[in-house]
């Protein structure tokens, strides 16, 4: 059990206003799930039956023989004996029905360029890509690395992999060469799909250069497929690289969809943990499809004709589940926007909502806070009448941001779904539904069919208002199956803390109404602008610099990003801690991890607080930095 719960989290810290329910106007009465409490109660009586019913929404080539196999727990299996395909559910099934000519993707980038694909057009592009991949020998179970901006080709590539049963491994295109290289190597990916570049605030980002830096050290990569996105001048390795459009040229627009076992892995997605090595989270075709489809339909009240905009990046699980697979499985139109939300003016984001008549806007607290800074006058220019439901994800949403989002974006008409979940859970886990009464800043209650709890070190439930560890006590279809090539780490990370329960790594408390308030991570994982980064990853990047002996990194509060990094560095004897060195050190982290690892401050120190076994006690650093009580220091040397 992690030793420490942050002090401030031990007792209820809600203001009296927060305790109250928000005005009942937020309740949507004709929602897909009209009676919130009744639905929760019914599902709680038999969660497995709930998920079995949910699975009826998914297309199966062959129905399962057994709903859930617990014989090798916690390596749970769902829908055993069933045959299905994630891409079939996202695309093929729509082609036979009324969605064929409906828009599947609306894409726009920062520069104003747009593209649209109907389900049928997307289907044909995916088929061409699937054939081309098969043509170079990509088979079931092979890993395909994808490092691309938020452009339609990333959806096409992911769906093509799923269609032929290859596993995609998408790496967020904000990661640097070093991070990309590590992930390619761990997955032993055979090919890499990328793009020439992307734009950020008008600046061209040379993605291909980052890719070249990574791939030169990756022996497993046989081909690099490059989508033309911004036409930037790039280096081309004639033997290894091929343009995306040349790769698919002349391929048939029909392709066979692989009939996968429900438990066959669909993809691996790397995420940060407490060691410097990221974990490859495995999700499977059957259960993932069931969990994502049921949650997107219920949480966002989708009826089939919606325009759905999730502002995340496909490189994270939010993008996998709620930009690509979820909206497409639900047969709605998904908006993909590549770039920043405030270019050329701070109301770009609201303009996109109006232009495409977005019905559901699913975004992150850090973005809301950034928009708040520009002031309410920007959303005020836009009526955004199409909006029906808002969503938030990635980190706790502070009540101020919640209210601003509610008042100025939703115009006091749209309920906010604050969805707590993780890369590992695959789908929304603790979240309101549109028929639930809301509280500003609370993720409400567990989704139907999910049993969550807040417990102490011994696994005993703590009383309402007391902080504790968030656990999930039952199984759900879209749960992580294992860590790629590392089942031991899977057991240790999630199943060794509280007997028989999934350990989420978050601190939370429940209030008297049973509402969950998520407080943040208990472990050495940071959330910087909603991006997940391990302090150990940051430290090992610092230590790669020749002047550094040792480094300790902690998260410190930041008004905009939630959290940023403060680092304590021990230098080699005789080396002076100059400003120039501080700059170099910031650069090396940027080079090894990418710009998402935002460093606020570097402090040169002589010593770091350590345990007798030599582990850096980051919580002591943190307590000192923030002026908090030191807590238990019995193991401190
Ligand atoms: C961690 C998971 C899957 C969502 C994207 C992030 C934090 C996520 C919330 C929320 C409070 C949240 C938790 C969690 N988190 N959503 N609504 N309220 N905290 O996925 O990168 O795997 O990070 O994000 O700390 O453990 P991820």
Q: Please give the structure tokens belonging to residue 400.
A: 């101020």
**Residue 21: what pLDDT?**
85
Nearest-CA neighbor of 164 among 253, 260, 61, 280? 260
pLDDT tens digits, 426-476: 999 999 999 999 999 999 999 999 999 999 989 999 999 899 999 999 999
Q: Is the CB of 535 under 6 A from ligand 1?
A: no
Cα 132 to middle of ligand 1, angstroms: 36
Atom of ligand 1 at shortest range from CA of 317: 3
In DSSP notation, 357-385 reads T-SEEEE-HHHHHHHHHH-THHHHT---T
Inside any domain, residue 308? no
Cα 169 to middle of ligand 1, angstroms: 20
Q: Is the CB of 443 under 6 A from ligand 1?
A: yes
Q: Is the CB of 271 under 6 A from ligand 1?
A: yes
**Are residues 482 and 448 in contact, defined by beta-carbon separation less than 8 angstroms?**
no
Inside any domain, residue 480? no
Cβ-based neighbours of 48, under 8 Å, separated by 6 or more: 67, 68
**Are residues 418 and 432 in contact, defined by beta-carbon separation less than 8 angstroms?**
yes
**Residue 232: what pLDDT?**
86
Domain closes at, from 261, 292, 320: 261
Atom of ligand 1 at shortest range from CA of 430: 17
pLDDT tens digits, 557-599: 999 999 999 999 999 999 999 999 999 999 999 999 999 999 9
Inside any domain, residue 280? no
Measured by CA distance, the residue closest to atom 12 of ligand 1 is 395
Q: Please give the structure tokens belonging to residue 179.
A: 């991070």
Cross-strand partners of 338: 109
C-alpha count within 13 angstroms, C-beta hemisphere, residue 600: 16
Inside any domain, residue 619? yes
Domain closes at, from 195, 226, 261: 261
**Residue 630: what pLDDT?**
79
Residue of 527, 533, 534 best suited for mutating to test ligand 1, as the one with most atoms within 8 Å of CB: 527
Torsion angles phi and psi, residue 578, rounded to 5:
-85, 170
Give the chain's domain count.
Answer: 2
Alpha carbon distance 393, 356 (integer Å): 22
Q: Is the CB of 394 under 6 A from ligand 1?
A: yes
SS3 531: strand
Q: Is the CB of 521 under 6 A from ligand 1?
A: yes
Inside any domain, residue 268? no
Atom of ligand 1 at shortest range from CA of 525: 25
Measured by CA distance, the residue closest to atom 23 of ligand 1 is 422
**Are residues 443 and 420 in contact, defined by beta-carbon separation less than 8 angstroms?**
yes
CATH number of the domain bearing residue 541: 3.30.300.30
Q: What domain range includes position 251?
A: 110-261
Cα 192 to middle of ligand 1, angstroms: 28
Q: Is the CB of 422 under 6 A from ligand 1?
A: yes
**Are residues 194 and 212 in contact, defined by beta-carbon separation less than 8 angstroms?**
no
**Residue 12: what pLDDT?**
60
Q: Is the CB of 366 under 6 A from ligand 1?
A: no
CATH number of the domain bearing residue 201: 3.40.50.980
Domain closes at, from 197, 230, 261: 261
**Are residues 268 and 484 in contact, defined by beta-carbon separation less than 8 angstroms?**
yes
Inside any domain, residue 333? no
Give the pairing of strands 599-604 and 562-571.
parallel
Give me Rg for the CA atoms of the chain. Answer: 24
Q: Is the CB of 421 under 6 A from ligand 1?
A: yes
Inside any domain, residue 152? yes
**Residue 23: what pLDDT?**
73
**Residue 570: what pLDDT?**
96
Q: Is the CB of 279 under 6 A from ligand 1?
A: no
Decide: residue 460, CB within 10 A, 0-12 exposed, 13-18 middle, 19+ buried: exposed
**Are residues 92 and 293 in contact, defined by beta-carbon separation less than 8 angstroms?**
no
Cα 130 to middle of ligand 1, angstroms: 32
Local structure of residue 59 (DSSP, 8 states): -
Q: Which residue has the tokens 């088979």?
A: 139
Inside any domain, residue 233? yes
Q: Is the CB of 320 under 6 A from ligand 1?
A: no
Atom of ligand 1 at shortest range from CA of 531: 21
Q: What residue ranges of the chain have pLDDT lower than 70?
A: 1-13, 17, 24
Atom of ligand 1 at shortest range from CA of 397: 18
């Amino acid at each position: 059990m992690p030793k420490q719960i942050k002090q401030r989290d031990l007792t209820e810290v809600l203001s009296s206003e927060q305790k109250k329910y928000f005005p009942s106007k937020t309740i949507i009465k004709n929602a897909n799930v009209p009676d919130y409490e009744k639905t929760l109660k019914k599902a709680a009586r038999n969660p497995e039956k709930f998920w079995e019913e949910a699975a009826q929404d998914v297309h199966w080539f062959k129905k399962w023989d057994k709903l859930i196999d617990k014989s090798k727990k916690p390596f749970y299996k769902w829908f055993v004996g069933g045959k299905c395909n994630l891409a079939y559910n996202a695309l093929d099934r729509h082609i036979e029905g009324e969605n064929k000519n409906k828009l599947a993707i609306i894409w726009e980038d920062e520069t104003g360029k747009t593209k649209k694909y109907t389900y049928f057009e997307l289907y044909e592009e995916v088929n061409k890509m699937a054939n081309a991949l098969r043509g170079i020998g990509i088979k079931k179970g092979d890993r395909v690395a994808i490092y691309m901006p938020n452009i339609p080709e990333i959806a096409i590539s992911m769906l093509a992999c799923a269609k032929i049963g290859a596993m995609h491994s998408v790496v967020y295109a904000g990661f640097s060469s070093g991070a990309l290289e590590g992930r390619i190597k761990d997955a032993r990916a055979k090919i890499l799909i990328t793009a020439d570049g992307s734009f950020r605030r008008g600046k061209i980002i040379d993605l291909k250069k980052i890719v070249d830096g990574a791939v030169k050290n990756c022996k497993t990569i046989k081909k690099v497929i490059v989508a033309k996105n911004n036409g930037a001048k790039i280096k081309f390795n004639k033997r290894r690289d091929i343009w995306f459009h040349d790769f698919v040229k002349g391929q048939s627009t029909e392709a066979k969809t692989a009939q996968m076992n429900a438990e066959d892995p669909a993809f691996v997605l790397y995420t940060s943990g407490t060691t410097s090595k990221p974990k490859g989270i495995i999700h499977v075709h059957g259960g993932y499809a069931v969990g994502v489809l049921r949650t997107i339909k219920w949480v966002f009240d989708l009826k089939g004709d919606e325009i759905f905009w999730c502002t995340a990046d496909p490189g994270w699980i939010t993008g996998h589940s709620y930009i690509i697979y979820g909206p497409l499985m639900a047969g709605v139109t998904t908006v993909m926007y590549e770039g920043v939300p405030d270019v050329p003016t701070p109301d770009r984001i609201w303009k996109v909502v109006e232009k495409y008549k977005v019905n559901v806007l699913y975004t992150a607290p850090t973005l809301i806070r950034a928009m708040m800074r520009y002031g309410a006058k920007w959303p005020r220019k836009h009526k955004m009448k199409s909006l029906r439901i808002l969503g938030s994800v990635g980190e706790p949403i502070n009540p101020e941001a919640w209210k601003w989002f509610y008042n100025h974006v939703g115009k006091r008409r749209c309920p906010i779904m604050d969805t707590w979940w993780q890369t590992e859970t695959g789908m929304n886990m603790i979240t309101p539904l549109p028929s639930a009464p809301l509280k500003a800043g609370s993720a409400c209650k567990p989704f139907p069919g999910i049993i969550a709890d807040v417990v102490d070190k011994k696994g005993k439930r703590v009383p309402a208002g007391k902080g504790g560890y968030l656990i999930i006590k039952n199984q759900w279809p879209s749960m992580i199956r294992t860590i790629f090539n590392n089942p031991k780490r899977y057991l240790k990370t999630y199943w060794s803390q509280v007997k028989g329960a999934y350990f989420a790594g978050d601190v939370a408390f429940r209030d008297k109404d049973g509402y969950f308030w998520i407080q943040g991570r208990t472990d050495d994982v940071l959330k910087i602008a909603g991006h997940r980064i391990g302090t150990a990853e940051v430290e090992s990047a610092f230590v790669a610099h020749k002047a550094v002996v040792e480094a300790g990194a902690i998260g410190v509060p930041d008004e905009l990003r939630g959290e940023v990094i403060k680092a304590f560095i021990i230098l080699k004897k005789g080396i002076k801690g100059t400003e120039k060195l501080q700059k170099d050190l910031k650069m090396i982290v940027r080079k090894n991890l990418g710009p998402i690892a935002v460093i606020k401050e570097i402090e040169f120190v002589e010593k770091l607080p350590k345990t007798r076994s030599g582990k850096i006690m980051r919580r002591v650093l943190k307590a000192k930095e923030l002026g908090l009580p030191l807590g238990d220091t019995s193991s401190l040397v």
